[in-house]
A and B are shown apart, each in its own frame.
Chain A
Amino acid sequence: MDLSNTNLLDEAIVTTKIDAVVNWGREASLWPFVFGTACCAIEFMATAASRYDISRFGAEVLRFSPRHADLLVVAGTVSYKQAPILKQIYDQMPEPKWVIAVGACASSGGFYDNYTTLQGIDEIVPVDVYVAGCPPRPEAILDAVMDIQRQLKREPKFEVRNTDFKGKLDDV
């Protein structure tokens, strides 16, 4: 076969950038780790069940080990007691990783403005998408996954994300 025949190769090869290909693949194969603590976790169960079916967005491979996951879904209230565990789980996830704060409590503490509730998980870990609602409807959680997919497409190159983030528990 004459490899110098460029016409032949034109048919078989598509040229693109490596980031674009990798991000295209990532986009449809997010592996979520669900840090489900409260009411929102029940709505996440509904999101994963057949009616709302998160697998339509390629994110149905729920991982129960953070080391397998690239999307942390924090669904529910996080208390001060739980904060070190959340941080440990986040740290165990390999880069690149994304975080969704599902519901009012994870986003801001919600109406639990009191001595025991962390006032938003962004005090501990960086958050990419906040979902409003108490708890949000499954459609809102799906929308957050789609939002992550849109953000992910714009990732410029391979690098560790959020290096400048400093959480409240990072120094201790």
Chain B
Amino acid sequence: MMSEAIKIESADLLDTLRKARDEEGYTLLLDITAIDNLYKSHPPMTRFELVYVLRHSNFKDTRIYKVPVSDPKTGVETVSGLFSSADWAEREVYDQYGIHFQNHKMLKRVLNHEEFIGHPLRKDYEITKGQYCTVSQDMMDEMQPLLDARNLDMEKDELMIVNLGPSHPASHGTIRTLVALDGETIVAAASEIGYLHRGFEKSCENHNYNQIIPYTDRLNYCSALMNNIAFAKTAEDMLGVTLPDRGIFIRIILAELSRVIDHLVCLAAGLLDMGGQTNYWYLFNPRNNAYDFLSKLTGARLTNSYMRIGGMAYDLYDGWESDLEDVLVKIDFGITESLKMITHNRIYNDRIQDVSPVSAKQAIDYGFTGPNLRASGVAYDLRFSDPYYYYDTFDFNMVVGSVGDTYDRMMVRFEEMNESMKIIRQAMKRIPDGEINVPDKRIILPNKNCVYGGIEGMMNQFKLVIDGVKVPEGEHYGAFEAANGELGFYIVSDGSGTPYKVKVRAPSFYHLSAYPKIIEHYQVADAIMTLGSLNIIAGEMDR
């Protein structure tokens, strides 16, 4: 199964996207990326092509537009006027591929540093060519237009410019936000990311499909297994294979457990930021129990690398049910105790209710997905709208908030943990016996008896390890409901064992692009809570 893209000319881009949004209902711009066709064996007419991924407001249909770019210096018209999410997405394409977007208000690098020369995702940029950065930018080029637009003057209005981050205890990783303060109130803000840009996408172009699995672990390192599954599932969709039922159920159990762990870390850290240290212990310690279970199963606590294209490394161990049930009981206890302390706590409620609300319309415009979008009252969850892996046969609820403030974003996560545990318990009852991997020699390594006992098995192993799993030529956008929102992989395959291009549609990237806008008019202490409630994971945001 491959995604079908609609080809349009760059001159029609703006009109087509406007029509798609206003008349056809494609209101959510998921991602923008580019493809460098330099090394393709049958290259199209132009070297660069832009890819726009949109989602319909029924959250079922995905539409992909492809736009050839005749000259990267001239580029194409920006769509950031139509979709706010396009703002940073276009900046990233400019940064990584050097494609210009006409009339973009602030077209500058977003992931790489300002002293960087060249565009790293172009095929002729060498992967190991690092460039030292000597100074950090002062960001006033972004701040000044914001102040001008608000008719503010640094001197006259007695404003103070403060850096929140990049090394800040509550910045949850390395994120920098420059704020202009009037007293304690934020009047303008601009965020800078890219401090944890680790070249995921370039590394993907230099490793075969199974070698990429460990890299996906480190995207959202709070729920590593989920990234594994999302990537493996996208590649499997391209191969046109489906896992045996036991494999699917193992994936469901581990994905939902990862979602719980992710939310636990988010809430523990968020509550710690507002001084609720006891909550931190209650929520963080059961996570350690979950990691004990995962280490027993996969050999690693955090970065598990357990999935493979077409299955997983090995089956569950004997006695996993009682271990997992024990973990669930402990998590349940932690959540109950934590909720006891905060549900009717004035300090908690007063501090975060009605702070940085995001309306449903705004949230979609910003490209929000996952718990942050559901907090705004939009009933969108891929497990419901496009149920993969038998999710439609489980009995669980979608958790939806009402006003989309910091309170909603946190409470949606609390409730989602209970729903995920419901799914895990049902899956534990229903999991069948049988094979876990796709029975296909071209995808799954043969067992060791065959490898050491016969030439055919040995060659099979050799070819799979050296060449990798050969994914048929084509392009596919695979979406997965990860802990933070829609985690998408746009994979371009040239038929070899190494992907020609992989683009990650990371939910945190879009959440943070909205962050400087939604913290305006609130205080610094509120901004810290808002950042915690958005659950920004730098690994997947910066990639």
* A77 CB, min distance to chain B CBs, angstroms: 5
Q: Which of B113, B202, B539 lies in contact with A39, CB distance below 8 A?
A: B539
Residue-wise, chain B 162-203 has the 8 Å CB interface mask toward A (1 for contact) of 000011110001100000000000000000001111110011
Contact status of A46 and B134, CB under 8 A, knowing A37-B196, A38-B218, A112-B199: no
Contact status of A85 and B203, CB under 8 A, knowing A80-B130, A114-B130: no
CA of A169 to CA of B362 in the docked complex: distance in angstroms?
43
- Is A81 positioned at the interface, with any CB of B under 8 Å from its CB? yes
Main SS class of interface, A? loop
- Is A137 positioned at the interface, with any CB of B under 8 Å from its CB? yes
Which chain B positions have C-beta within 8 A of A21?
Answer: none
B288 contacts A79, CB within 8 Å? Answer: no
- Is B356 positioned at the interface, with any CB of A under 8 Å from its CB? no
Contact status of A49 and B288, CB under 8 A, knowing A43-B301, A80-B113: yes
| Interfacial residues of chain B within 218-232, with CB under 8 A of chain A in the complex | 218, 221-222
| Interfacial residues of chain A within 23-48, with CB under 8 A of chain B in the complex | 35-39, 41-43, 45-46
- Is B125 positioned at the interface, with any CB of A under 8 Å from its CB? yes
Task: Closest B residue to A118 by CB, please name it.
Answer: B130
* B445 CB, min distance to chain A CBs, angstroms: 21
Determine the interface band of chain B, counting residues with CB < 8 A from chain A.
Answer: 35 or more
- Is B131 positioned at the interface, with any CB of A under 8 Å from its CB? yes
- Is A3 positioned at the interface, with any CB of B under 8 Å from its CB? no
Residue-wise, chain A 41-69 has the 8 Å CB interface mask toward B (1 for contact) of 11101100111000000000000100000
B302 contacts A42, CB within 8 Å? Answer: yes
A49 contacts B285, CB within 8 Å? Answer: yes
Total count of chain A residues near the partner, CB < 8 A: 39
Task: Closest B residue to A49 by CB, please name it.
Answer: B284
Which chain B positions have C-beta within 8 A of A151?
Answer: none
| Interfacial residues of chain B within 93-133, with CB under 8 A of chain A in the complex | 111-113, 120, 125-133
Listed by A's residue number, 19 A-B pairs whose Cβ atoms lie within 8 Å are: A38-B198, A39-B302, A49-B288, A50-B285, A77-B196, A80-B130, A81-B133, A81-B197, A82-B174, A83-B132, A83-B133, A84-B135, A84-B136, A85-B136, A111-B214, A111-B215, A115-B199, A134-B303, A135-B303
Chain B residues within CB distance 8 Å of chain A? 111-113, 120, 125-136, 166-169, 173-174, 194-199, 202-203, 214-215, 218, 221-222, 265, 269, 280-281, 284-285, 287-288, 291, 301-303, 538-539
